[in-house]
Amino acid sequence: MPPPRAIDPRPSSQSSVQGEGSTYAGTRALVTGAAGFIGSRLVRRLRALGAEVHAVSRRPPAVASAGEVWHRADLRAPAATGELLGAVRPDVVFHLAGEVNGAREGGLVLPTLESNLLGTVNLLTHAAALPGARVILCGSSEEPRPSNEQSPPPSPYAMAKWAATGYAQLFHRLWDVPVTVLRPTMVYGPGQRDTRKLVPYLALCLLRGEEPRLSSGSKPADWVYVDDVVDAFVLAGQSEKATGQVLDVGTGILTSVRETVELLFRISGTSLRPRFGVIADRPLDVAQAADVGPAADVLGWQASVGLEEGLRRTLAWYGEHR
């Protein structure tokens, strides 16, 4: 396992603009998990690029923005999935829906299996009946990969995602479904509301004047800004070369949780101190650095927002939207 590396020194004062040269005009795009962290930003980006955007959620917003058509659907149900794809008949499907929880609890086995594996298989099955429909799946960096030395999945979530990737490759091999799997590493940024995740938890603690309770912070992580991740999905949705590929999406730079926490605290200027070691480390955690070469070769993509700049933007967003 490679040692943790220092914070990315590359300056970055602007959001990544990769994908803006692409046009989705005349493209009918279906985004599942569209109310989620990555999905909501992908919907806005696709709309800005001219796509006809169909957004899917079990809990659609009460008021939709212009240019979006929202659908309520539970992809765990085969009939509902078939009805959705048959009605929309998308040119490209971005599948981000699922149960996102990396805890090591036995109670997560069935929920993650149903949402992340069965939901994906249902979608692939019905997408196979739509000639030419491209499918872009969101995988997990905790799947066994060369860059994590093929470490076995450490959680029910990662296990279900690994199986879903296997099925995606099967659908491509046997039935020529044009599917691509993107595996983001540790995604963070404005709009992330899940307080089980480190950055939202820290930001809210800082705003409330509370000292966060943390593990040892020794885990190395590859932190990737959400808009960079959206760029990768946008590019994959139009890439013939990406068909059948499984690509990491990250920076390739490892920064420990402790270093990341301390950087965020320095940015905030707080006098509070994080309380490391109060919570036990999660079992089986390993470094999840991205192999950035394949995404660069296949998509022409690389992350452009450095960690310090990304954390500054993120903390400012929480301050505005608290």
Residues spanned by the domain of 187: 28-321
> Residue 4 domain-assigned?
no
Q: Specify if 9 maps to a domain.
A: no
User: ∠ CA 216-219-221 to the nearest 5 degrees?
Assistant: 140
At 305 the pLDDT is: 97
Q: Is 12 among the domain residues? A: no
Assigned domain for 5 exists: no
In a domain, 228, yes or no: yes
CATH number at residue 297: 3.40.50.720
**Encoding tokens for residue 185?**
């590493």
Would you say 223 and 307 are in contact if contact means Cβ atoms under 8 Å apart?
yes
Residue 6 lies in a domain: no
Q: Which two tokens stand for residue 18?
A: 């990769």
Query: Bigger pLDDT: 153 or 59?
Result: 153
- What distance in Å separates the CA atoms of residue 61 and residue 272, rounded to the nearest whole number? 36
**304-319 per-position pLDDT tens digit:** 999 999 999 999 999 9
Answer yes or no: is 191 within a domain.
yes
Which of 36-45, 144-153, 298-307 has the weakest average pLDDT? Answer: 144-153
Instruction: Give first-to-last CA distance, the chain, whole Å.
Output: 38
Looking at the annotation, which residues are catalytic? 157
Mean pLDDT of the 264-286 span: 92
Structure pTM? 0.91
Q: Which of the four pLDDT bands, split at 50, 70 and 90, describes residue 38?
A: very high
The stretch 107-118 carries a mean pLDDT of 96
CB atoms within 10 A of CB 117: 20
Total domain count, the chain: 1
Give the pLDDT score at 3: 35
Task: Please report the pLDDT score of residue 13 as a whole number.
Answer: 33
